[in-house]
Amino acid sequence: MQDSVKPNGITPSQTVGPFFKYGLTPNGEYAWNDAFTNSTLTPDVTGDRVRIEGRVFDGDGIAVPDCMLEIWQADAQGRFADPQDKRALPNASFRGFARCGTDKDGNYSFDTIKPGAVPDPEGKPQAPHILLAVFGRGMLRHLYTRIYFSDEAGNAADPVLALVPTERRATLVATREGGKAVYRLDLRLQGDDETVFFDV
Amino acid sequence: MTFIYPTDSNKAHPLPLSPEYKSSIKRAPNKPLIPMRHTLSELTGPVYGHETVRQGDNDLTRQHSGEPLGERIIVHGHVRDEDGRGVPSSLVEIWQANSCGRYVHVRDQHPAPLDPNFTGAGRTVSDASGYYRFVTIKPGAYPWGNHHNAWRPAHIHLSVFGHSFVTRLVTQMYFPNDPLFPFDPIFNSVPDEKARARMVSSFDLENTKPEWALCYRFDIVLRGQNATPMENH
């Protein structure tokens, strides 16, 4: 069945369109069997539980109601639930992946734990961060960004944040609100205060 | 971590700003993407197995008490990387309009019938060779208001996870010889003709089931890992 010819390139990306919610995102209006939630929390997970909230806006500052966000992160010890990461994972059922759709006002939220430090290619620790992929109608390819945390001293030495012009770094840093473990990060797809997106 | 994924492969993707597709105009970043080296975060990715996929989730014709209306079809193929290696255990999710071109989505206002026996969403996990298979209904074309007389070519949306977060792909599978191709700004947002052709399935007579369903083959190609190992950690 499988031909052995090397493909001449990858399959191009296309938009998720406006009508993905019944198929992909959790907690929607549909009774369909959700494979995903907007929470990574599992009964055995250790670490600081946090909630990340925000809104998504387009280039006119209008809320985007048909976005899908996905996060991917290490556990509190900085380890990934991935067979390529050979280090033992103490949180046996922690997956590190969650998915959320935006609501009519562009709101999203994730319940997760603050990740530990993950090494960069030289083996130096990166500041705690979460990978975020943004999909949506009008977006022909998803965009990659990162979520950092405002109360982490390690941000100052983070090698990826260092690639970002100083005045744009705040677009990657979720701000801790009051005494609660709630962090806020709005995403702007376009404009003067556009979120930093990475070419990976 | 042992491998990196060449970023040159991304040239096959559409440009974020494709003005003919009007919804992209206010949703494409103005500022250049910032290049960065892949770290462990980018080189790992979610691996989902059968714990989230129920038996039968890949048969969209069996989700309700009756048979959906329309042309029953089989869609199958391999998930591979660009070096030709099969991608096993990859979660493949699909969603689509029904045979009349209507999504079950609450905000789809196209005045075509909804089919009580068709939800239009399914998922499966690729096997050890990267092979996947769905049974579904051929979706209809539908109007979408992007421009005068705009109709989407029939398509099935697919979401695929490779073996790292940078191989994540959402795409659309089209059907061969669709007369709407020249007029569709989403299909044509992919500048390279050969890359566009990789979004078109092929009619597969060999695997068509007599008296039951036509078959289409759709091979999905994800970014491949360089043969050159990176530093080990």
> How would you classify residue A94: left for phi > 0, otherwise alpha for psi between -120 and 50, otherwise beta?
beta
Hey, what are B153's tokens?
């070519």
**Closest-CA residue to B122 (of B139, B136, B108):** B136
**Closest-CA residue to B5 (of B146, B114, B164):** B164
Judging by beta carbons within 10 Å of its beta carbon (0-12, 13-18, 19+), is residue A109 exposed, middle or buried?
middle
Domains in chain B with CATH codes? 8-27+39-221 (2.60.130.10)
DSSP state of B205: G
A135 found inside a domain = yes
DSSP state of B41: H
Among B13, B38, B110, B157, the active-site one is B157
Q: Max Cα separation, chain B?
A: 57
B68-107 pLDDT, tens digit each: 999 999 999 999 999 999 999 999 999 999 999 999 999 9
Strand partners of residue A129: A148
Q: Do B78 and A118 touch (CB under 8 A)?
A: no
- Judge if ipTM > 0.90: yes
Q: Do A84 and B165 touch (CB under 8 A)?
A: no
Question: Domain containing A160 — which CATH number?
Answer: 2.60.130.10
Q: Do B82 and A9 touch (CB under 8 A)?
A: yes
- How many percent of chain B have pLDDT more than 90? 88
Contacts of A96 in chain B (CB under 8 A): 46
- The pLDDT of residue B91 is 94
Q: Do B123 and A84 touch (CB under 8 A)?
A: no
The H-or-E segment that residue B197 falls in is helix B193-197
In angstroms, what separates the C-alpha of B211 from chain A's closest C-alpha? 22
Hey, what are A116's tokens?
């530990």
A97 found inside a domain = yes
The pLDDT profile of chain A, 200 residues, written as one tens digit per residue, is 445 578 899 999 999 999 999 999 986 667 666 788 999 999 999 999 999 999 999 999 999 999 999 999 999 999 999 988 888 777 888 999 999 999 999 999 999 999 999 999 999 999 999 999 999 999 999 999 999 999 999 999 999 999 999 999 999 999 998 777 999 999 999 999 999 999 99
- As a whole number, mean pLDDT of residues B32-48 equals 93
Residue whose entry in the numeric block shows the structure tokens 């069997």 = A33
Contacts of B116 in chain A (CB under 8 A): none
Mean predicted lDDT score pLDDT of chain B: 93
Q: Please tell me which residue, B52 or B82, carries the higher pLDDT value.
A: B82
Q: Please tell me which residue, B231 or A77, carries the higher pLDDT value.
A: A77
Instruction: Respond yes or no: is residue B216 known to be catalytic.
Output: no
**Closest-CA residue to B176 (of B215, B137, B128, B230):** B215
Q: Please tell me which residue, B166 or A36, carries the higher pLDDT value.
A: B166
Q: What is the 3-state secondary structure (H, E, C) of B47-105?
A: CCCCCCCCCCCCECCCCCCCCCCCCEEEEEEEEEECCCCECCCCEEEEECCCCCCCCCC
> What is the domain range of residue A179?
34-188
Q: Which of A13, A84, A190 sits opposite B171 (nearest CB)?
A: A13
Instruction: Respond yes or no: is residue B132 known to be catalytic.
Output: no
Which pLDDT band, with edges at 50, 70 and 90, does B232 fall under?
Answer: very low
Number of structural domains in chain A: 1
- The pLDDT of residue A1 is 44
Name residues 162-191 of chain A within 8 A of B (Cβ). Answer: 163-164, 168, 189-191
- The pLDDT of residue A31 is 66
The H-or-E segment that residue A133 falls in is strand A129-136
- B52: Cα separation from own chain's centroid: 19
Its pTM stands at: 0.95
In angstroms, what separates the C-alpha of B68 from chain A's closest C-alpha? 16
A200 found inside a domain = no
Chain B residue at shortest CA distance from A59? B26
Angle at B31 between CA B26 and CA B33, to 5 degrees: 110
State whether residue B213 is helix, strand or coil. strand
Judged by a CB distance cut-off of 8 A, whether residue A43 touches chain B is no
Range name among A125-129, B6-10, B113-117 with the lowest pLDDT average: B6-10
A56 found inside a domain = yes
Judged by a CB distance cut-off of 8 A, whether residue B8 touches chain A is no
- The pLDDT of residue B143 is 98
Dist CA B57 CA B59 (whole Å): 6
Is the pLDDT assigned to residue B37 strictly greater than 80? yes
Instruction: Respond yes or no: is residue B152 known to be catalytic.
Output: yes
A158 found inside a domain = yes
Among B5, B142, B174, B216, the active-site one is B142
Q: Do B12 and A73 touch (CB under 8 A)?
A: no
A72 found inside a domain = yes
- The pLDDT of residue A41 is 95
A18 found inside a domain = no
B40 neighbors A80 (Cβ within 8 angstroms): yes
A197 found inside a domain = no
